[in-house]
Amino acid sequence: MLGSLNLTFSTESYSWILLSEFKNRGRVGIVADILNSVMRSGSRGRTKTQIMRGARLNYEQTGRYLDHLLLCSLVRGVKLHYGDKELVRYFLTPNGLELVKQLHTLHSAMQLLDHKAI
């Protein structure tokens, strides 16, 4: 009956994705935190350091996850030049946004099941 859920999506409604409140996050939680961090930036994109801080990862972990997300076309990197410095900013792709929506739907369904179990 998940198809009958009527959900609207806006960037404000994705704060639930920060699954870091759990003691040990799994890969899905980490990916969700990264995608949420990138999405919060809107049209400005996020640097690797900003993603690292937003998802609460170290630099090496952030690099590995970003590599996978780039390969899966969930995020894209754009090189920008600031004077003599080159900086890569990351943006969500349509596939990345779709995954965030699916995760939101799944999370909403899980909350509904948790409430009914009480």
Question: Distance from first CA to last CA of the chain, Å, rounded?
Answer: 19
What's 112's domain CATH number? Answer: 1.10.10.10
Is 82 inside a domain boundary? yes
Identify the band that residue 24 occupies on the pLDDT scale cut at 50, 70 and 90.
Answer: low
Domain count, the chain: 1
Is 9 inside a domain boundary? no
Using the Cα atoms of residue 98, residue 104, residue 110 and residue 113 in order, give the sign of their dihedral: negative
Q: Is the pLDDT of residue 11 over 70?
A: no
Q: Percent of the chain having pLDDT more than 90?
A: 54
**pLDDT one-digit tens code per residue, 49-80:** 999 999 999 999 999 999 999 999 999 999 99
Q: Domain residues for 76? A: 23-117
